[in-house]
Amino acid sequence: MASLSVKPGQRFTVPDWQNNSLLISADAEQQRYNSHHIRQEGRALRNETGNQAKWDEHNTRTRLNDRITSVDRWREALARCLTDINLEIDALTKVKEAAENALQAKNLCLDVAIECLTFRESRRDIDVVRDPVEEELLREVKVIEKTKKELQQRVDEAFKQLCLLKEARQQLNFDHRHKVETLELDRQCVSFNVTSGNISFKVNPTRIPDGTTALREWELNSQCNKDRAEAEMKASVDLRGKITLSIAQTNNELDAQRIATEFALRKRIRDMEGALSELRWQEQNTLEEIAEMEEEIRQLEEDIRKRTLDLKVAHTRLETRTYRPHVELCRDQAQYGLTDEVQQLEGTIRALQQKRTESQDALDALYRQLHRIQTDIGYKTNSLQLDNKCMDTRRKLVIPVEKFEPEVDAVNRTRNLPRNSQLELA
């Protein structure tokens, strides 16, 4: 007989089965509810994070653009300051070169003054005087040395100011170049987006690099560079005015001194020419007096000779009458007359001889005076030539050397050529 096969194991009741189905349905409902809730939260989170990311990126882009605008404004300000400081450096350089040229020009003035003093050292004897010309020339040398010292001081100040300007320009260049580089980087940052090919994860991107400065410090640095450059430019403008004024003042002072020296020199030349005219007049008169005195001495000697012959005649008559015989040898009127004549002639001859001696002494004195006059004429002629050479040399102060043509020396008929080598003050 066949039998039923029974599966071994636990048996559940219908309620257990029903409860199990209900539990499964409830769990499914709960899981669907939880899943729906999570989906809603995820959607909200996605919306929120997406919007937040967009706003954050927008804010970052805005901040970058604002930063670019701020940096670019400073870049433009620094660029203008750089242009101004370059112009000021060029202007100060030109003024410095003008001061150096003025200083170099003073060397010619100094050489001319020293050359004139050297010329006048060749004066001789009584003409070696401390006259107004020498005083003006010495004063001119002092004025030139003072102006050279003042101009050299201005040149040194200009050199130092140029160094300060270039140092300020270097700082501006650094700051300007750094801002240009910063602008390029920030503009590159603005251009980045999710489709850019060069975006990637970086190691510790939120780190603070060494040397990082605060925003206030950054602004102060640029402001200090700009303020310093403007201060140096203002100092340079003031210095340029002082240098220009110094050049004008030194030129005016030197011109005034040069005019005073040349006025004294012309006056001295006129005085010397007047003295020479007076001496030549005295020389002519002395020569005429010497001629007359020599003629007078010849006349005196002729009279002495004649009176000597007369005396010989009288002596001979007296001697001859001594030979009269006996009583005829008497002191008659003729004897007295001859005696008186001899005495008179001897007195006359003595007087004539005395006068001849006096005349000869006077003639010797005239010759000595003539020699003195002629010597003094030589001294003054030499001094006049030297002063004329000084005047000719001083023409180099108003005529370019390449156009300088020396005047012909009226005494020696030679040209006073300018020296190739300039005299230097020992």
Helix (H) and strand (E) counts in the chain = 4, 0
178 vs 16: CA distance, rounded Å: 82
- Residue 411 confidence class, pLDDT cut points 50, 70, 90: very low
Coil/strand/helix, residue 356? helix
166 vs 126: CA distance, rounded Å: 61
Give the number of residues written for the chain.
426
**At residue 103, what are phi and psi to the nearest 5 degrees?**
-65, -40
**Mean pLDDT (whole number) for 170-184:** 93
51 vs 12: CA distance, rounded Å: 56
Angle between helices 14-120 and 333-394 in degrees, nearest 10: 170
269 vs 407: CA distance, rounded Å: 16
**Mean pLDDT (whole number) for 216-240:** 93
Write the pLDDT tens digit of every residue in 15-59: 888 888 888 989 888 888 888 889 898 888 889 888 888 898 889
pLDDT value at residue 410:
35
DSSP character at residue 402 = G
pTM to 2 decimal places: 0.70
- Residue 5 confidence class, pLDDT cut points 50, 70, 90: low
Instruction: Give me the DSSP letters along 8-48.
Output: -S----HHHHHHHHHHHHHHHHHHHHHHHHHHHHHHHHHHH
pLDDT value at residue 4:
53
Q: How far is CA 408 from CA 221, 385, 402, in A?
A: 71, 11, 18
- Residue 262 confidence class, pLDDT cut points 50, 70, 90: confident
Instruction: Give me the DSSP letters along 121-171.
Output: TT--GGG----HHHHHHHHHHHHHHHHHHHHHHHHHHHHHHHHHHHHHHHH
**At residue 415, what are phi and psi to the nearest 5 degrees?**
-95, 135
Write the pLDDT tens digit of every residue in 275-304: 889 989 998 998 999 999 999 999 999 999
Q: How many CB atoms lie within 10 A of CB 144?
A: 25
Nearest to 370 by CA among 247, 286, 269, 244: 286
274 vs 280: CA distance, rounded Å: 10
Write the pLDDT tens digit of every residue in 80-125: 999 999 999 999 999 999 999 999 988 888 888 888 888 888 888 8
Average pLDDT, rounded, for the chain: 85
- Residue 8 confidence class, pLDDT cut points 50, 70, 90: low
Poorest-pLDDT segment among 160-174, 352-366, 393-407: 393-407
Nearest to 383 by CA among 262, 269, 260, 263: 269
Quick check: 417 pLDDT over 70? no
> Counting Cβ atoms within 10 Å, is residue 279 exposed (0-12), middle (13-18) or buried (19+)?
buried
Nearest to 236 by CA among 166, 172, 170, 171: 166
Coil/strand/helix, residue 200? coil
Q: Do 117 and 138 contact (CB within 8 A), yes or no?
A: yes
Instruction: Give me the DSSP letters along 365-392.
Output: HHHHHHHHHHHHHHHHHHHHHHHHHHHH
Quick check: 2 pLDDT over 60? no
> Counting Cβ atoms within 10 Å, is residue 236 exposed (0-12), middle (13-18) or buried (19+)?
buried
pLDDT value at residue 80:
95
- Domain extents for the chain? 38-58+85-191+218-323+331-396
pLDDT value at residue 208:
85
